Amino acid sequence: MSVLKFLAAIIFSVIFIFGSTAQAAQKKILINSASRLMQFFDGGVKVAVYHLGLGKVSTPTPTGYFQIREKEINPPWIDPSDPEFEVPSGPDNPLGYRWMQIEGNYGIHGTNRPESIGGYVSNGCIRMIERDVEELFDAVEVGTPVEINYNRIVVEKTPEGDVVYYIYPDGYGWQDINVADVKKWIEPFGVLAFESDYNISQNIEDSDGEPNFIGKPYNVEINGELTQPTDANNTRFFAKAVVRDGISYMPVVPIAKILKLKLEWNKSESTLKSRFGKVVCYEKKDQLYCNSDDATILFNMEGGLQTGEDGAKVFRFKSLPIIEPTTPVEPPKTTDKDKKTKPTDETKPADETELDDKPQVKEYEAAKP
């Protein structure tokens, strides 16, 4: 082989190895031992979720950061307690027909006992249904990262934009959780005000792994400025609009801060008043929300849910021009010659009734906080 061919072969090998490593780095396997679920990500997108069988309580699946070190089709099974005993590939092989080593004797593999999937059943390995492990085997490369954790609390966004959380049982007895723990996980999504402490407590008690839907959060943009987290009554919350049960809730405090607008809250009537108008509002965990349809009245602005340049939806509003009331023109003064006989009750026109405005004024005064 010539020197040039030799160098070309080395360069090709380096490019091939680098390309395979870069491709593997774009993929990731995430395993939660508490939920007994695997999520497979490709390019940051979750493309598959698989049910697993994991290590028994006495031989738990280890947690930590690993990677696919070796891949094998039709692997033999060697009894860990008796290295001389080997089961060749076939229907009696506990490893199924695929093996992916992550560290030492630990690996991801198939199983000849599909009924064991969903339980804590192995010596620490990760079991998968055969069709699932074969699909994963073909999708990953040596070097693909594998992260294994143990989290009983899982909060995520669905493809439809709903925030949903799950509480899983403490299968290994490793993680006690309380309401405060769950709230910390939910808070960054901007929907915490819409889930009561009572509901969270009940879901912890059930710990059934069932989905608990809260709502769809969206950013709020006022005159080109996004609302920011705001401190209210020593509580830090994330200033998101939330769509729930067909109602679009707007966080009024951060909007008012951007507009530098003073608000008056009437707790007994659940109404909020600004210089522009008064609307019914909702108090949720010491935070105030109004219906997005009332934003024009309360904040003198127009807009709604729109799709941004990046494809993400955002509640975008723009202030309307402020129309100041004009100074009323005083009627000309009358002279004695212009005075006429005061009409009697029988002849007094209906539009000059003296009590027309009194009920409205009384009602307005009573409504003041």
Query: 120-123: long-range contacts at Cβ-Cβ below 8 A with a sequence spacing of 24 or more?
Result: 120/36, 120/53, 120/54, 120/55, 120/56, 120/57, 120/60, 120/171, 120/172, 121/53, 121/54, 121/55, 121/56, 122/53, 122/54, 122/55, 122/56, 122/59, 122/61, 123/55, 123/56, 123/59, 123/80
Q: Residue 136: name the closest of 149, 146, 148 by CA.
A: 146
Rama region for 215: left / alpha / beta (φ>0; ψ in -120 to 50; rest): left
Task: Exactly one of 51, 109, 281, 290 is catalytic; name it.
Answer: 109
Question: CB 187: neighbour CB atoms within 10 A?
Answer: 17
Quickly tell me which residue has 């609009």 as its tokens. 241
Q: Distance (Å, rounded) from C-alpha 247 to C-alpha 119? A: 40
Judged by DSSP in three states, 175 sits in coil
Partnered with residue 241 across adjacent β-strands are 218
Active site annotation includes 109 = yes
- The alpha-carbon radius of gyration of the chain (Å, integer) is 33
Active site annotation includes 290 = no
Query: 58-62: long-range contacts at Cβ-Cβ below 8 A with a sequence spacing of 24 or more?
Result: 59/122, 59/123, 59/124, 60/33, 60/120, 60/124, 60/172, 61/31, 61/33, 61/106, 61/122, 61/124, 61/125, 61/126, 61/148, 62/103, 62/106, 62/124, 62/148
Residue 320 tokens read as 């309307």
Q: Distance (Å, rounded) from C-alpha 30 to C-alpha 157? A: 16
Residues 6+ apart with CB under 8 A from 171: 33, 34, 36, 57, 120
Angle at 240 between CA 217 and CA 227, to 5 degrees: 145
Task: Exactly one of 51, 125, 281, 290 is catalytic; name it.
Answer: 125
Please tell me what DSSP assigns to residue 328: P
Judged by DSSP in three states, 282 sits in strand
Active site residues: 109, 125
